Structure 1
Amino acid sequence: MKDKKNTTIAIVCGGPSPEARVSRLSAGRITPPLEKHYGNVVTLELDAALPANLLTHQVDVVFPVAHGPMGEDGCLQGMLEVMGIPYIGSGVLASACALDKVATKRILHHGGVPLAKDCLVSSAEPIKTSVEKCLDTLGERVVIKPFAQGSGIGVQFAEGKKELIERLTEGFEKDHLLLIEEFIQGREVTAGILDLERTHVLPVIEIITPNNAWYDYTHRYTPGLSEHIIPAGISDQQKQRVQEIALQAHQLIRCRDISRSDFIVPENGEPIFSEINNLPGMTPTSLFPDGAKHAGIEFEKLICGLVDQALERGKNSFSGDNYWPIPELNLSAHLDS
Structure 2
Amino acid sequence: MTKAKVGIIFGGKSAEHEVSLQSAKNIVDAIDKNKYDVVLLGIDKEGRWHINEQSSYLLNEENPKLIQLNKSNHGVAFIPGESSKQWISLTDGASLDQLDVVFPIVHGTLGEDGSLQGMLRIANLPYVGTGVLGSSVSMDKDVAKRLLKEAGIKVAKSVTVTRHKLSSVDFTEVKERLGLPMFIKPANQGSSVGVSKIRTEQEFYQGLKAAFQYDNKVLIEETIVGREIECAVLGNEEPIASIPGEILPQTDFYSYESKYIDEKGADLAIPAELSEELTKKVQQASVEVFQSLNCEGLARVDFFLDDNGDLVVNEVNTLPGFTRISMYPKLWEISGISYPELINKLIDLAIERHQRDQALKSAVWDD
Bin for the TM-score computed over the shorter chain: 0.7 to 0.9
How far is the alpha carbon of 1:279 from its aligned partner? 1.1
| Higher RCO, 1 vs 2 (CA within 8 Å, ≥6 residues apart) | 1
More displaced 10-residue stretch of structure 1: 86-95 or 49-58? 49-58
**Gap runs ≥5 in structure 2:** 49-75, 79-86, 90-94
Contact 2:188 2:215 in 1 (8 A): no
Are 1:283 and 2:280 an aligned pair? no
Larger radius of gyration: 1
Contact 2:186 2:215 in 1 (8 A): yes
Contact 2:236 2:296 in 1 (8 A): no
Contact 2:138 2:316 in 1 (8 A): yes
How far is the alpha carbon of 1:247 from its aligned partner? 0.9
Alignment of 1:304-319 (within 5 A): 304-318=344-358
2:71 alignment counterpart: none
Number of aligned pairs?
323
Alignment of 1:171-210 (within 5 A): 171-195=211-235, 199-210=239-250
Alignment of 1:41-52 (within 5 A): 41-46=38-43, 47-48=47-48, 49=76, 51=78, 52=87
2:310 alignment counterpart: 270
2:29 alignment counterpart: 32
Selected match of 2:159 from 110, 114, 119:
119
Selected match of 1:142 from 182, 192, 202:
182
d(CA) in 2 for partners of 1:289, 1:78: 25
Are 1:219 and 2:258 an aligned pair? yes
1:294 alignment counterpart: 334
For the structure 1 residues 53 and 106, does the alpha-carbon distance in structure 2 shift closer, same or farther, using more than 3 Å as the test?
farther
CA-to-aligned-CA distance 1:244-290 (integer Å, 9 cap, x gap): 22111100111111111111122333021100001111110111111
Query: RMSD of the TM alignment (CA)?
Result: 2.4
Alignment of 1:228-243 (within 5 A): 228-243=268-283
CA-to-aligned-CA distance 1:148-186 (integer Å, 9 cap, x gap): 001010111112433323322343344332100111111
Contact 1:140 1:161 in 2 (8 A): no
Are 1:19 and 2:11 an aligned pair? no
**Gap runs ≥5 in structure 1:** 328-337
d(CA) in 1 for partners of 2:9, 2:275: 39
More displaced 10-residue stretch of structure 1: 15-24 or 197-206? 197-206
d(CA) in 2 for partners of 1:67, 1:216: 16
Structure 2 counterpart SS, 1:178: strand
Contact 1:33 1:304 in 2 (8 A): no
d(CA) in 2 for partners of 1:53, 1:302: 31
Contact 2:108 2:190 in 1 (8 A): yes
d(CA) in 2 for partners of 1:270, 1:168: 29
More displaced 10-residue stretch of structure 1: 126-135 or 137-146? 126-135
Are 1:156 and 2:153 an aligned pair? no
Contact 1:127 1:168 in 2 (8 A): no
CA-to-aligned-CA distance 1:311-337 (integer Å, 9 cap, x gap): 34434443675764379xxxxxxxxxx
How far is the alpha carbon of 1:105 from its aligned partner? 0.4
d(CA) in 2 for partners of 1:320, 1:295: 35
2:173 alignment counterpart: 133
How far is the alpha carbon of 1:85 from its aligned partner? 0.7
How far is the alpha carbon of 1:196 from its aligned partner? 7.3
Contact 2:228 2:246 in 1 (8 A): yes
Contact 1:121 1:130 in 2 (8 A): no
Q: Percent identity?
A: 33
More helix by share: 1
Structure 2 counterpart SS, 1:125: helix
d(CA) in 2 for partners of 1:85, 1:17: 23
For the structure 1 residues 84 and 122, does the alpha-carbon distance in structure 2 shift closer, same or farther, using more than 3 Å as the test?
closer
Contact 2:236 2:353 in 1 (8 A): no
Q: TM-score scaled by structure 2?
A: 0.81
How far is the alpha carbon of 1:33 from its aligned partner? 3.4
For the structure 1 residues 178 and 85, does the alpha-carbon distance in structure 2 shift closer, same or farther, using more than 3 Å as the test?
same
Are 1:95 and 2:92 an aligned pair? no
Are 1:249 and 2:289 an aligned pair? yes
More displaced 10-residue stretch of structure 1: 317-326 or 76-85? 317-326
More displaced 10-residue stretch of structure 1: 264-273 or 197-206? 197-206
Are 1:74 and 2:71 an aligned pair? no
d(CA) in 2 for partners of 1:294, 1:65: 22
Amino acid at match of 1:43: L
CA-to-aligned-CA distance 1:30-75 (integer Å, 9 cap, x gap): 1133342334211102345352359613111001111001111111
